[in-house]
Amino acid sequence: MSKHSFRVCFFFSRRFRTNAAEAPEDVKMMFNKYSKHGTMNIDQLRTFLEEIQGETSETKAEDIFNSLKHLNIFQRRGLYLEDFFRYLLGDLNLAFPHCQGVYQDMGAPLSHYYIFTGHNSYLTGNQLYSKSSVTPIIRALKRGVRAIELDLWPTSKNNGIEVRHGRTLTSPVSLIKCLRAIKDHAFTASEYPVVITFEDHLNPELRKEVAKMVNETFEDMLYVPELEDLNKLRSPESLKKRVLISAKPPKNKKGESTKEKPSTDKQRDIADDDIWGSVRPQEDVDEDDLEEDEDEDVAVPEYRKLIAIHAKKKKPGLNLQAFLNDTESVSRFSLSEQALEKATKDYGRDIIRFTQRNLLRVYPKGLRLDSSNYNPMLGWTHGAQMVAFNMQGYGKYLWIMQGMFRGNGGCGYIKKPDFLLNNLDHKPSNSRSSSSTMIRRLTIKVYMGEGWNSEFGLSHFDFYSPPDLYVQIGIVGVRDDTTTERTATIQDQWVPVWNAKFSFSISTPELALLRVIVRDHDTSGKDDFAGQTCLPVKELRSGIRAVPLYSKRGEKYKHVKLLMSFEFE
């Protein structure tokens, strides 16, 4: 036990005792049950792992003993209670192990997977006047993002190509820098394919230049489809370490650039949303919604050949339902978050059928100038593979996105639930699981937490006392699975002990995520953030487990973690 002093004014200070992390009563009971005379040998540890933790690995107990060699456990032939407690809070006992690796079937078509997708991947900040750079592209790829969006525009003299957010004050970055950054970092976090979506605002001559850049940059990494492959999507497994281009095939008149005439529906959206006059985010007019000239005399064949996934637009006046049920070709179609919400009310099943064979990309509405995000669940429950997110900031929806794609080894691809691929006899917004591994209820106990005094400054949370920490915990998923609880607030403690138990019913575990947020209660203002994590429920390990927490921006803290238990029914 140590003491911390907080200066209140010039002549006075307050002292607080900081308790050392101590094993909770449940841990003591488990240790006493599986040990003898205060020591747990390797066979007893192996029994604990099998009966309580659900682990049957023959070498796991040996690995744990080897990791604790500095405690001289081989001289005393076993673990003391403190050793056992430190193991439970250590990296060999995580609720969500990073070493699990890819375990899902990766041999199905791309349309059968959720794909970790970025929006305006080159922007460093807001959508109106921030800088464009390769830095956010590299950061996204290192975190496992598999779909990068680049907006292609001609330079001011119309003799080069730059990447920028059109009709805004954002600065440009050269296309070649973006392509090289993608090549160098595409497979740092995952060997599964990277999709580059081009939003193309170029003339035919510049498209030829793009084709040359792409070919010279990626060489053998680039997947160039055969003509017969355009009517089917290959699997992530067959496309390992390959880069795919997705764009709308050009259909220009000779010597003319693509016209920027939005369709009638999109014009109406712009009229509703446009508060910036001539300066407005180009994403209000998605490339898939732009009108085109019908003459295909000059289609830039070298550019068109690169496009592995064709983006498709709905012609003005065509009924959305008829468009979605067009099965002649495989394509990618884009909808804004608002358009998706509207479409799902009338055409929910048609959207799901469309996504069984095609790709659906959902993008943030244009008024999200601060690079905020939207709830991804509506897109996911309707089969949308590419729910495009702004990765520049933070917030609960981005944490949910990061949590979803921590699954399946963090490879950037998550297999969609079977009920979205086969059975449509359900309401998409309130889906029921058809999984062979059913999870009806998850019971969680939050024991304690530690590490804040090592991660943060003494007065980070409060100038005059240690933090008053509490935990918000809940399930994020389909409508029936969305609920949140919270622990009591433990005052003036760097090592809070809650011993709080919660139980959550779960109808659709395939889309259920455990969301945990720790906050410091502040009586005079907004509660301070103290850590968060979001994890796929189906990949949580049962038993008493360590749960590391992350910063607002999704960076893992070195020391801050919770001790929790998980029990599935």
Catalytic residues: 119, 165
Phi, psi of 456, rounded to the nearest 5 degrees:
-120, 160
Q: Residue 237, SS3?
A: helix
Phi, psi of 317, rounded to the nearest 5 degrees:
90, -15
Phi, psi of 66, rounded to the nearest 5 degrees:
-65, -35
DSSP 8-state code for residue 500: E
**361 in Cβ contact with 332 (< 8 Å):** yes
Counting DSSP H helices and E strands in the chain, the numbers are 16, 21
Phi, psi of 364, rounded to the nearest 5 degrees:
-65, 150
The token pair at 84 is 């056992």
How many angstroms separate the CA atoms of 15 and 316, rounded?
71
Q: Residue 505, SS3?
A: strand
**127 in Cβ contact with 170 (< 8 Å):** yes
How many angstroms separate the CA atoms of 111 and 415, rounded?
9
Amino acid found at 445: K
Cβ neighbour number for residue 27 with a 10 Å cutoff: 20
**What b/e readout covers 238-258, taking b as 16+ CB neighbours within 10 angstroms?**
ebeebbbbbbbbbbbbeeebb
Residue whose C-alpha is closest to residue 324's, from 349, 292, 341, 307: 349
Q: Residue 496, SS3?
A: coil
CB-based contacts of 271: which residues, under 8 Å, 6+ apart? none
Kindly list the distances between the CA atom of residue 206 and the CA atoms of 27, 255, 362, in Å, as whole numbers in the listed order.
Answer: 66, 11, 28
